[in-house]
A and B are shown apart, each in its own frame.
Chain A
Amino acid sequence: MKKLFVAASCALAMAAGTVQAKDWKEVRIAFDVPYAPFEYKDENGELTGFEVELAEAMCEQMKADCEFVIQAWDGMIPGLLARKFDAIMSSMSITPERAERVLFSEPYYNTPGGWFGRTDFNTDVTDMEAMKGKTVGVQRGTTMDTYVTEEMADVVTIKRYTTADDMVLDLEGQRLDVVFVDYPVGEQTILSKEGFKEVGEPVKLGEGVGVAMRQRDKDLAGKVNAALKKLKNDGTYDTIMQKYFSYDIKM
């Protein structure tokens, strides 16, 4: 009888454990900072930015208690799979390769890739003849990297960087002719300096940015999608977007 009781309470505890894990009253969301204006720390050290505010609104909508985790980009997907957090809202573009490892929500924004160079750069970046022999900088593993690798690998020399800072330094030092980088990042880190300009039209790439979750957490994805849809329709999304951007990134 006693054994039966122990077994029963074990089973009950396990069941309770699963129920608790599945109701998503607490969600841990990871960001890679600084990636202004999407996620960064303001002068008081508070985490803020477009995605952070969107995450706050989303959690309110989901009636969940959210904890924000800071995680470096390199360890994002491994950290998610290792259950260090439950979702990534750190400008992660949806790609087929990533979709094999994680479960994406519906996209919630899409920024174009922008071409930036020094003011004396006068080549048309879409003209493959003229681009021959030029050196292009990209951030490793970004959709811009994939685009340049697939479209221009035979024409230009591609250099891949881990951080945007190193890349801008090499553009400044004339090791690179032009960089192809996420538009807001270029606007923030390159156009803010003297001697640089945007060259060519921004290119819309990929399927946009989504919330990344573990494959098995389909119920969480359902809640996230519902919350995002609500925010996009009731105007909350537009209010947050207009606070940070002068152009449209809604998707």
Chain B
Amino acid sequence: MPEFITEWLNQNEIFTAMTMMEYWDGLVSTVQLVFLSLVIGLVLAIPLAIMRTSKNHFVSGPVWIFTYVFRGTPLLIQLYIIYYGIAQIPGIQDTFWWDIFKEPFYPALLAFVLNTAAYTTEIIRGAIVATPNGEIEAAKAYGMNWFMRMRRIILPSAARRAVQAYSNEVIFMLHSSAIASVVTIVDLTGAARNIYSRFYAPFDAFIAVALIYMALTFLLVFLFRKLENHLLRHQRPAGSS
């Protein structure tokens, strides 16, 4: 941070350069955590959603159980179970797993990934099921096999229907990530709690962090509108740009 900004900030009572750096570090870990869990969650959710639509119960059943367990329990409980539960497994501290699960970041990432994968699976599944029969019949008439139908017709068509519901999931995930602070991760909320307890100024600390979350949400909303426009450009009236 340049010297003159530091000096200017240090005139503040609460929002000093140190406080700002704490919020910045919090922003970085929130964005990392949410971005990684959404990407991994989405990658997991696409095959899971296809499995979930399978007529074979041995394929769709386990996915059904997975989504019901993770959608049926609060994320906070899942995080507690993964974070504190893993540390209670006898002997875990001597295995290489401990290098991963010792830090709070990976248990939190695991909980977030599983949670968002469950919700995203159901969103994509809904979109796949809603594919118009005509599209599938036309693809069959062209002689496309299952894989090609999936890749060229069903998934792109489902993506268009899923994108609006998925943008909500992304925003919910950003807001749910606030609970990462209970397992000692200093994310945005963790930074706000530290600052609150240092200055006993709940309004200042939490309103500042609320504004940051809001700015992030607006950014996401904006990006998803661009994406929607891109995916649904064929539905626009002819002549409009």
Residue from the list B87, B193, B194 in contact with A170, Cβ < 8 A: B87
Per-residue B-contact encoding for A153-186, CB less than 8 Å = 1, 0 else: 0000001111000100110111100000000000
- Which residue of A101, A140, A159, A161 is within 8 Å of B200 (Cβ)? A101
**Docked pose: A170 CA to B86 CA in angstroms:** 11
A89 to B198, CA, bound (A): 20
Residues A175 and B87 in contact, CB atoms below 8 Å apart: yes
Residues from chain B with a CB closer than 8 A to the CB of A77 are 200
Which residues of chain B are within 8 angstroms of A166 by Cβ–Cβ distance?
A: 182
Interface members, chain A 64-81 (any B CB < 8 Å)? 77-78
Instruction: Decide: B194 and A160 in contact? CB cutoff 8 A.
Output: yes
Q: Which residues of A contact B184 (CB under 8 A)?
A: 159-161, 170
B87–A169 contact, CB under 8 A?
A: yes
A97–B93 CA distance with the chains assembled, in angstroms: 40
**Chain B residue nearest to A73 in the complex (CB):** B197
Known: A140-B193, A169-B84. A175 touches B102 (CB 8 A): yes
Chain B residues with Cβ under 8 A from A162's Cβ? 182, 193
Q: How many Å from the CB of A147 to the closest CB on chain B?
A: 13
Contact A173 B194 (CB under 8 A): no
Taking residues whose C-beta sits less than 8 angstroms from the other chain, chain B's interface range is: 10 to 19
Q: Which residue of B lies closest to A75 (CB)?
A: B202
* A interface size (C-beta, 8 A): 21
Q: A159-B184, A170-B184 are in contact. Are A98 and B87 (CB under 8 A)?
A: no
**Quick one: given A160-B184, A161-B184, are A173 and B84 in contact (CB under 8 Å)?**
yes
Closest chain A residue to B186, Cβ basis? A160
Contact B200 A174, beta carbon cutoff 8 Å: no
Asked whether, in the complex, the Cβ of A97 is within 8 Å of the Cβ of B87, the reply is no
Complex CA gap A98/B198 in Å reads 9
> B146 at the A/B interface (Cβ < 8 Å)?
no
Ranked 10 nearest A-B pairs via Cβ: A141-B197, A173-B87, A159-B184, A174-B93, A140-B197, A101-B200, A77-B200, A175-B102, A97-B199, A169-B84
Known: A97-B198, A140-B197. 19 other contacts (CB 8 A): A78-B202, A97-B200, A98-B200, A100-B200, A101-B200, A140-B193, A140-B194, A141-B198, A145-B197, A159-B184, A160-B184, A160-B186, A160-B194, A162-B182, A170-B87, A172-B87, A174-B93, A175-B102, A175-B104
**Interface residues in chain B, defined as those with a beta carbon under 8 Å from any beta carbon in chain A:** 84, 87-88, 93, 98, 102, 104, 182, 184, 186, 190, 193-194, 197-200, 202
A–B Cβ pairs within 8 angstroms, 27 of them: A77-B200, A97-B198, A97-B199, A97-B200, A101-B200, A141-B197, A141-B198, A159-B184, A160-B184, A160-B186, A160-B194, A161-B184, A162-B182, A162-B193, A166-B182, A169-B84, A169-B87, A170-B184, A172-B87, A173-B84, A173-B93, A174-B87, A174-B93, A174-B98, A175-B87, A175-B102, A175-B104
